[in-house]
Amino acid sequence: MSYPEEYKVPQLAPEDYENYWREDVQATGKPKQYTLLIDLDKCIGCKACQVACKIENDVDNGVFWTQVQSMGPVGEFPNLDYFYFPKQCQHCADPLCVTVCPTKATYKTDDGIVLVDKDLCFGCQYCIWACPYGVRTKNPNTGMVEKCVLCAHRDHEHGEMPACVVSCEGNCRYFGDINNPNTQIAKYYAAHADRAMKVHDQFGTKPSVIYLKPRKGASKL
Amino acid sequence: MPSVIYHDDGSKIVKTNCFDCHSKCGVLCHVDAQGVLTKVEGNPEDPRSQGRMCPKGRSAVKILNDPDRINYPMRRKGERGGGQWERITWDEALDEIETRCRQYMEMDGPRSIVFGQGTGRGCIPWIQRLNLTVSHVNHWTSPAHACLNPQLLTQMITMGMFNCWDGADHDDSDCIVSWGANMVWTEGAFIAGEVNRSRDRAAKLIVIDPCFEHPLAAKADHFLGIRPGTDLALAMAWIRLFIEEDRYDHDFIKRWTTLPLVVDAETEEAIPAAKVFEGVDEHALLMWDEDTDAVMLMPDFTDPEAKGNPALDLGTRELTLLDGSTIQVTTAWEALKGRVADMTPARAAEICWLEAQDIVDAFRTYADAERASIAMMQGVEEHTNCRLLIHAIDTIMGLGGNIDIKGGNVWHQFWNDMQDPSLTTMPTEYHAQNKLGNEGAFYNNSTGHGVWDAILTGKPYKVHAFIGIQGNPVSWCENPDRVVEAFKAIDFLVINDYYLSPAAQLADIVLPAAHWTERDFIADEFCQEWFYGQQKAVEPLYERKSDIELCRLIGKRLAPDQWPDDVYGVLNIALKKYGITYEELKEEWCMHLYPYREKKYETEGFRTPTRKAEFYSTVFAHAGRKDPLIRWEPPKESYETMPAEVIAEFPLILSTGRRYVNFYHSAYRGVPVLRELSPEPHFMINPTTAADLGIEPEEWCLIESPSGTRPIRMRAHVTAGVHPRVIIAPHGWWQGCKELGLPDYPDNSSNINCLISDQKYDPDLATPGMRSSLCKITKIQ
C-alpha cells in the first residue's frame, strides 16, 4: 500500500451487506402489528418510494402501489399551503376490502398486513369500491386487483424493511412492529406522537399507517 | 476491504457510485453468476448519501437495458438527418474519424476540430484534454456557461475557492438558505437527509425562489417568492442591511477581504502602492491604518507578525502621491456602501415583487445565525446579470462571517484541482487559451454560439468537425434552431450518447456510450472530502464504450503521445498528485482525500491576486463590465429594458429549466417507471392568468418570446404556486416513450430553449437569460 492510512474510510464487514436494511430487535411476546409511519414534515416529494416500489415488486406500467400526491398549493401566491402526501394501502385493522371480497382473496395476516391472493382474485373490484382510500388498482393486463403488500416477500420477521423505506431520501418513512417499544418506529412515534394522525379515521376501518402532520404548510390538516 | 463481495453461488455485490446525476451516491450493484445486473441499492457506507437512493438511480437496471439505447457504432446512410444508418465496427468508426480529422487538420489546422459535451458525466477535464491535445485551442464546448461555471468562475475570481453546491454545509448549519436551488431534488439522496437532520435541530430555513411548488417552500421559515432575474436587488438590500444594522463580521471584512483597499474616490480604481511608496512591488495595493490614521501597504494577515488595523468607514481623504500631486481617496468599502445606498428594503421589494418586511425578516434570520449556509444553483446562474448576483451573494457570505466555516460555505480543495493543467493540458496564461465566442470575457471556453457561428460563417476560422461526447446541444443550447442549422451544414459530425438524440440524429457517425454501471471511472466532483473508485458492475453490453475510453481512443489516434495505453493510465494521471493508483482507489472504493479544516485562508490566504477575498475584485476590474464591485442591473429582457410595445405583446416572465426529480436533463424520458411520473411537458401558470387567457388545466398551449425562433407547445399546469405574471417551463423535451405510447416531440416543437436569445448574455460569463426572459401564452385553438 502506497497511500496513507488516513485515506481509508470505515466500511462494513462483507456479511453486513445482507443485513444492513434489517432491524434486529428484542421480541416482546406481544402480538405484532407491522406498521408504516410517514412523517409528512420530512417528505420532499422525490418519489423515490414510488419508483423503488415499482422496481422491487415489478409493478406494471400504469399501476401504482404507492403514489406521492401533491396537496396544493392552496391559497394566494406567496401565502400558500403545500405538502406531499404519499398514499398506499393503510393495512387497516378492520378492513372493508376483506369484508366485501366474495372469494376471500383479500385477507389479513396475523402480523397485521392486508394481502391479495392472486389465485383467488377474479377482478370483481368490490374491494376497490369498498376501500375508502382509493389505493387499489385493477391491473389491466392481469385483470386482478393489486395494492401495496409492504414488501411481504422481505423478511419482516428479522426486521427487513420494505423498499420504499429503504429508498426514502428524506428519511420520513419508518417500518416495523409498532407494538414493540424497541423498534425504531415505536421510538420515533413516541417522540412525535403530538403530530400523529390517521387518515379518514371516521370510516372506522382502523387504518394502521400512521402519518405525522407537517409542522408547516398544512394549516387545514 | 475489497470493494467486490463475492458469494458462494457466483453472484457478487459491487461497490460503486451512481452517475444518473452529479451526486454520485454510493451504491451496491447486485450482479448474478451470469454477470447480469439484477438490483441496485444505496450503499450505507457512503458518508454523504448513507444508503438513500433517488428514482433515477433506482432505475439503473432499466436504464442499462433500455431498448432505446444505442448499442453499436453506426454510420449515416443517405441524407443527413434522414434516419438511415448502417452498423459499422469500432475500428471502421475510429479509422474514419482519424482520416477525416487529419484531412481537416491539414487543410485548415487542428483548430478546425471542435469537441463538445453536455453534462460531461464527470469527464469535463478529459474532454478538455482532448480538445487541447488534438485541436491545440480551448474551444471545448459545453453548457457550462449556464450551469455551474457562472458560480465556479465568479467564486474562483472573488475568493479562489468554490464554496457553494457541495460546499454548502447544511449538516452543521443553523440557517439553510436555498437561493435559486432545489438541492433536495437535484442532489436529493445526499442533501435531503442533511436538510431534514438540521431541521430536526431547529435550523432555520430560507427559500428564495419564484416557485412555491418547491419541496422546501412550504416548510421554510421565510419564503421569498421573487420575480425571476431580480435576485441581485434582494442581495444588495441584504448587503445594505448588513451595513446599516451593523451585523457584519468586522474582523473578517477588515483582515481577509479587499473591501478596505484604498481607491480613487472618483473612479473607484485601487491606488497602486508604487504611487505612494518608493521601492514597492508594482502590484502592491494600499489600505488605511485606523490606528495611525495613515496610508499603509495592504497587510497580509497570514503572516502572524503582520500589523495594521485596516479602516473601512474612512470617508474621503486627501492622499499625496510620490509625484507631489494630491488625489481624493476612499475605501472600496465606502464605494460598496455607495453602490447599495439606494437599495432600501422598500426599493428592493418593489423591484423583486416582495414585501419589504419579509426581506428584512429573512435577512435577520440569516445574519443572526451563528453558522449559516447558502445553497445557490441555476436559479441564480441563468440570468444576464448573474456575475453581479453571484458576486453579491459571495459578499453576503463574507459579511455574515460564513466563509470556510463548518455550517457555512466551506472550501473543498477538489474544485481547485479539478481543471489542473496536468489533466487538461490547459495553458495557464489566459491569452493562450484561444477560444471561440467572446460574449463572456471571463468564460473560459468557447460558447456554443461562437462555435455554431464559426461552423456557419467560417469566421474567425473554419470549423470542419464537431465531436460530441455525451451531450445534446440541440437540447442544452439557447436558440437550438441555430444548432440544427450548424449541424446540418458541418462537414463531419460525430456524436456519442446513450440515445439517438436530436443532435445524434444529424450525425455522420453515432457511437454507443456506456452507462455508469458499465464503466470504470473516478467519482470526484461534488464528493466533498471524498474520492471514489466508480468501477463498473458489469462488462459493457453490446459494443458500448465509456466516455473516458472514447476520449482515450480518439486521443490515441490524433495525439498519441498525450494519451496512455489504457483507461487506468488516464485515470492515474488524475490520481498521481494524491500518490494513489486507480487499482488502489478501486480496491478501497472510497478514500478520504480532502479532510476538512476550517478557515484555511488564515494560513494559506485566498487564492486570488491579493490573497484576500476580493469582494472588490481586482480581476473583474479589467474586462467584461470592467467593474470591480456589484451594482444593480436588470435582466436584459425585462420590464425595465424592453420597449413598451414588446412588453405589451409579451407581458409574462419566463423562467425555464426547472429540474425534474425523475429525469437528468433530456435523458430517461423513454424509461417507463420514470416517465410515468411526468408523462408530458407542462408549464406552470397562475389560475388568474389562465382564466384571463381562457386556458383550462391540461390544455395544450403555445409559448412565444420576443427573442424566440418559433412558438413551442406545452400543456398548462394551472397552479397557485407561481406569481400571476410568471411562467415556469421545463427543458429537455424531445423523446417519446414507446412502451407508454407517448410520441416524440420532433423538430424542437416543445424545446423551450427556442425561446431564449443567443444575443443577450452576461458580459462577464456569457450566460443567457434562460430564467428571466419575457413570453406570452396562447391556447391552441
Question: What is the extent of the structural domain holding A160?
Answer: 32-90+148-212
Structure confidence at residue B443 as a pLDDT band (50, 70, 90): confident
In 3D space, the residue among A15, A79, A52, A2 whose CA is nearest the CA of residue B677 turns out to be A52
Q: CB of A147 within 8 A of CB of A137?
A: yes
How far apart CA B291 and CA B309 sit, in angstroms, is 6
pLDDT tier, A1 (very low <50, low <70, confident <90, very high otherwise): low
Question: 3-class DSSP state for residue B289?
Answer: strand
Q: Judge whether residue B430 has pLDDT over 90.
A: no
| Closest chain B CA to residue A12 | B45
Nearest to B731 by CA among B476, B471, B380, B376: B476
Residue A219 lies in a domain: no
Q: What percent of chain B has pLDDT over 90?
A: 93
Query: Is B720 close to A6, i.e. CB distance below 8 A?
Result: no
CB-CB under 8 Å, B595 with A6: yes
Angle at alpha carbon of residue A142, lines to A141 and A146, rounded to 5° = 105
| Closest-CA distance of chain B to residue A181, Å | 22
Banded model confidence at residue B439, pLDDT cuts 50, 70, 90: low
Give the mean pLDDT of B89-101. 98
Residue A199 sits in a domain whose CATH number is 3.30.70.20
Q: Is residue A129 within a helix (H) or strand (E), and if so which, with residue range?
A: helix A126-130
| Interface list for B 304-323 with A (CB within 8 A) | none
pLDDT in tens, B576-589: 989 999 999 999 99
CB A150 within 8 A of CB A170: no
> Kind and range of the H or E element at B758?
none
Structural contact between residues B302 and B605, judged by C-beta atoms closer than 8 angstroms: yes
Dig out the grid coordinates for B647 from the structure.
412588453
Domain range list for chain B: 74-148+415-516+543-571, 156-248+341-411, 250-338, 644-779
Q: Is B687 on the interface with A (CB under 8 A)?
A: no
The pLDDT score that the predictor gives to residue B429 is 72
Average pLDDT, chain B: 96
Residue A40 has pLDDT above 80, yes or no: yes
Distance CA A96, CA A77 (A): 40
Across-strand partners of B545?
B513
Element of type H or E holding B129: helix B124-130
Q: How far A102 CA lies from chain B's nearest CA (Å)?
A: 33
Give the sheet arrangement for strand B74-77, strand by strand. Answer: B84-87, B74-77, B509-512, B492-497, B465-469, B113-117
Is residue A165 included in any domain, yes or no? yes
ipTM of the complex: 0.96
From residue B371, alpha-carbon distances to B368, B432, B598 in Å are 9, 41, 12
Q: Quick one: CA torsion of B579, B583, B584, B587, rounded to 10 degrees?
A: 160
- Which of A3, A45, A55 faces B673 most closely, judged by CB atoms? A55
Q: Show the cell assigned to A132.
A: 375508502
Mean of pLDDT values over B300-316 = 97
Q: How many CB atoms lie within 10 A of CB B299?
A: 18
**What is the predicted pLDDT for the residue at A14?**
77
* Residues pairing with A79 in the sheet: A76
Specify the 3-state DSSP secondary structure of B117.
strand
Burial of B260 (0-12, 13-18, 19+ CB in 10 A): buried
Farthest-apart Cα atoms in chain A, separation? 70
Q: Quick one: cell of A58?
A: 415489478
Quote the pLDDT of residue B59.
97
Could you report the per-residue pLDDT of B47-85, keeping only the tens digit for each? 999 999 999 999 999 999 999 999 999 999 999 999 999
- Amino acid identity of residue B604, one-letter, is E
Touching check for B530 and chain A: CB below 8 Å?
yes
Instruction: Note the pLDDT of residue A13.
Output: 83
**What single DSSP character describes residue B715?**
E
> Bridge partners of B264?
B329
A-facing residues of B in 190-209 (CB < 8 A) are 192-193, 195-197, 199
pLDDT at B568: 97
Over residues A191-203, mean pLDDT: 95
Residue A41 lies in a domain: yes
pLDDT at B658: 95
DSSP B561: G
Statement: residue A2 has pLDDT above 80? no
Residue A185 pLDDT > 80, yes or no? yes
Q: How far apart are CA B18 and CA A148, in angstroms?
A: 27
Look at residue B374 and give its three-state secondary structure.
strand
The beta strand positions in B481-540, using DSSP E, are 492-497, 509-512, 521-523, 530-534
Flag whether pLDDT at B16 surpasses 80: yes
Indicate yes or no: CB of A11 within 8 angstroms of CB of B581: no
Residues 181-200 of chain A whose Cβ lies under 8 A from any Cβ of chain B: none
Contact assessment for residue B437 and residue B450, using Cβ atoms and an 8 Å cutoff = yes
Long-range contacts of B604-609 (CB under 8 A, 24+ apart): B604/B302, B605/B300, B605/B302, B606/B159, B606/B160, B606/B161, B606/B256, B607/B156, B607/B159, B607/B160, B607/B161, B607/B416, B608/B157, B608/B158, B608/B159, B608/B160, B609/B283
**Structural domain contains residue A3:** no
Q: How many structural domains compose chain A?
A: 1
Q: Nearest to residue B375, comparing CAs of B661, B660, B147, B167? A: B167
Segment B34-56, tens digit of pLDDT: 999 999 999 999 999 999 999 99
The yes/no answer on whether domain B74-148+415-516+543-571 falls in CATH 3.40.50.740 is: yes
Residue B148, pLDDT score: 94
C-alpha B124 chain-centroid distance: 12
Class of the CATH-defined domain B644-779: mainly beta
Q: Is the pLDDT of residue B482 over 80?
A: yes
Cα–Cα distance, B158 to B615 (Å, whole number) = 6
A-proximal residues of B, 621-680, CB under 8 Å:
661-662, 672-674, 676-677
Chain A residues with CB inside 8 Å of B725's CB? none
CB atoms within 10 A of CB A190: 10
Specify the DSSP element, H or E, that contains A171.
none
Instruction: Determine, for residues B218 and A215 on separate chains, whether the beta-carbon distance falls below 8 Å.
Output: no
B527 touches chain A (CB under 8 A): no
Q: How far apart are CA A126 and CA A98, in angstroms?
A: 10
B644-779 matches B156-248+341-411 in CATH topology: no
Mean pLDDT of B546-556: 97
Asked if B579 and A2 come within 8 Å (Cβ–Cβ), the reply is yes
Q: Which of residues 713-732 of B touch A (CB under 8 A)?
A: 719-724
CA angle B544, B545, B546 (to 5 degrees): 130
Pairwise CA distance, residues B524 & B533, whole Å: 9
Given CB atoms, is B52 within the 8 Å cutoff of chain A?
yes
Distance (Å, whole) CA A67 – CA A61: 13
User: Inter-axis angle of helices B90-108 and B547-558, to 10 degrees?
Assistant: 50
Distance from CA of B696 to the nearest CA of A (A): 17
| Chain B CB within 8 Å of residue A62 CB | yes
Please compute the mean of the pLDDT values over residues B320-349 and round it to a whole number. 98
Q: What is the pLDDT of residues B600-641, one digit of tens each?
A: 999 999 999 999 999 999 999 998 999 999 999 999 999 999
Strand B530-534 relative to strand B590-592: parallel, antiparallel, unpaired? antiparallel
**Strand pairing report for A196-197 and B74-77:** unpaired
Say whether residue A127 is in contact with chain B using an 8 A CB cutoff: no
CA-closest candidate to residue B655, choices B182, B65, B96, B75: B182
Q: Tell whether the torsion through CA atoms of B173, B178, B184 and B187 is positive or negative.
A: negative
Place of cell 488502489: B584
Does any domain span residue A116? no
B587 lies within 8 A of chain A by CB: no
For range B712-738, the mean pLDDT: 98
In chain B the first and final C-alpha atoms are separated, in Å, by 65
Q: What is the DSSP letter of A27?
A: -
Write down the pTM of the prediction. Answer: 0.97
Interface A-B: count of C-beta contacts within 8 A: 180
Is the pLDDT at A21 greater than 80? The verdict is no
Whether the CB-CB separation of B63 and B40 falls below 8 Å is answered with no
User: Strand, coil or helix: what is B416?
Assistant: helix
Q: Which fold has domain B156-248+341-411?
A: Dimethylsulfoxide Reductase; domain 2 (3.40.228)
**To 5 degrees, how large is the angle CA B599–CA B600–CA B606?**
105
